[in-house]
Amino acid sequence: MDERIFKIKIGRPMPDWDAKHRLPIAGYVGPECKDSATIHRINSNFMDVSEQPHMMRQWFAGGVFTAALSSAAFFTFFVFVLCDSWQKEWDFMLGCILFEYGAAAMGFGYVCVKFGLDEVFSLTRRPIRFHRTAKKIFAIRRRRFSSSRELGDITVEVPWNEDAVFCVHRGKQNTDHADSYHIRYYQLDSDGNVVNGFALGREWDGLDGMNDLLCQWNYWCWYMNHGPAELPKPLLFLTERENFFESFLYCMYEVGFGLSASLRIAFMPFFLWLTLLRVASMSTCRPPIWPPAIKEICQIADDDPYQQPAGDTPVGWAATSQAHRNQSYPSDPRSKTPNWQGEADSFKNAEHWRGEVAPGN
C-alpha cells in the first residue's frame, strides 16, 4: 500500500476511518512499547525514522521502469509505422494504429514521469526526524536540484503538539490492502480539509501488524515526551547506505519475514529481480541533505550516552541477524507501557483498534 500510489487527497476532508483512529501524542495506545524496524539513528536530541514507502520501493521502481520501457517501445512502433507507411492519403485503420501507439507512448511516459519523480534521480531515503528538544518533526519530502548544498532538500516541519493530526490509515476496502495499516500525518486547514500529509515508519498487516503499529507509536511518543533513557533497543538500525546484499534482504523480508528456507530458495529468482530494481533505482539517487537551520539544532555531543548506532552495535538486516545468532543483540526488544490503564492483552487491544471506532476516539 505505497502511499505515493494511494495518494493523500489534498483539499478534501480526511477519511472518516482515519478520523476515528486518531493517535494521541500525550498518552499511549497499548500496553507494550517497541520499535518495528523503522529507525536509522537515535540520540538524546533527535531520532531519524524511515518513511512508509522506504521498505517497498522496489515495487514502485518496477512500475516506473516498466512504464519507461513501455513508453519507449510504443514510441518506437509509432516512429516505425509512421516512416514505413508515409503517404499523402491516410486510410482510417493506419491512422487508428498510429493514434493508439502515440497515445500509449504518451500515457506510459506520463506515468513514468509522474511517479518516477520520487524514485529515479531523487533521494536514497527520505528520513523523518523526531526532534525532542525542539518538539518538532522534520520530514524531507523532495530532492532539491539547484542550490541543494546551501538550502538543503525540501523539508516540511510538524509541531509536536495536539494541533498535529496523526492517525492510523487503513488500506482501501475490498482490495488486497484491506487489512494493511500505516501511521499517517495530516495537515488540515481551518475548514478541516487536508493541506498536506505523509506516512511514517512502515506498513503493518493484520492483527499482529496492528499490535506492532500501536507498540511503535508508543515508542515514538515515549522518545518525544520522556527521552531515550528507558526505551528498549530498536528491533534493528536501518542502514543509511545500502549495499547489494542489504537491498536483497529488504526485498526478501518485505515479501514475508517468516518465510521458510525452502520458500526463500524457491523464490530466489524473484527476490533477485526485485533487488535489481531496487538497486537500479537507488543508484540514480543521492543521500538527503538537511537544511542548514535544521543541521544547526541537531548537533550531537561527543559524550552523548544514547547516541546509536555506535561501537559494536549492528546496523542493517544482515549484521543484526548475525548478532541475533551470536546473542549479542536482543531479537525482540520491548517493554511494558508504564501506568497503562486500558486493555491488558495487547492483541485484544489491537482488535479494538481494528474496529470502526478506536478506543478513546
Given this model, what pLDDT does residue 311 score?
Answer: 87
Least confident window among 4-13, 248-257, 338-347: 4-13
pLDDT at 172 over 60: yes
What average pLDDT does the segment 273-302 reach?
A: 92
| Cβ(60)–Cβ(259) below 8 Å | no
Give whole-number Cα distances, 346 to 30, 192, 349, 351, 353, in Å. Answer: 6, 32, 5, 9, 11
Q: Which residue has the cell 481494528?
A: 354
Name the burial class of residue 175, with classes exposed (0-12), middle (13-18) and buried (19+) by CB atoms within 10 angstroms of its CB.
exposed
Hey, CA dihedral for 252, 241, 50, 171, is it positive or negative? Answer: negative
Cis peptide before 24 (omega within 30 of 0): no
Q: DSSP character for 199?
A: E
Given this model, what pLDDT does residue 1 score?
Answer: 57
Hey, CA dihedral for 36, 40, 43, 47, is it positive or negative? Answer: negative
Given this model, what pLDDT does residue 5 score?
Answer: 60
Q: How confident is the model at residue 6 (pLDDT cuts 50, 70, 90)?
A: low
CA distance 162 to 155: 21
pTM for the whole structure: 0.89
Q: DSSP character for 140?
A: E
Given this model, what pLDDT does residue 182 score?
Answer: 92
| Cβ(275)–Cβ(56) below 8 Å | no
Given this model, what pLDDT does residue 27 score?
Answer: 77
Cα–Cα–Cα angle for 23, 338, 310, rounded to 5 degrees: 85
Q: pLDDT for 139-163, tens place per residue?
A: 999 888 887 778 999 999 999 998 8
| Cβ(165)–Cβ(77) below 8 Å | no
Q: Which residue has the cell 471506532?
A: 357
One-letter amino acid at 162 equals E
Q: How confident is the model at residue 86 (pLDDT cuts 50, 70, 90)?
A: low
Helix (H) or strand (E) holding 226: helix 206-226
CA distance 37 to 43: 16
Q: How confident is the model at residue 88 (pLDDT cuts 50, 70, 90)?
A: low
Q: pLDDT for 42-61, tens place per residue?
A: 999 999 999 988 888 888 88
Q: Mean pLDDT score of the chain, rounded to an integer?
A: 88
Q: Which residue has the cell 504518451?
A: 106
Query: Residues near 285 by Cβ (< 8 Å), separated by ≥ 6?
Result: 120, 121, 122, 123, 124, 143
Look at residues 92, 95, 114 and name the one whose alpha carbon lies nearest to residue 5: 114
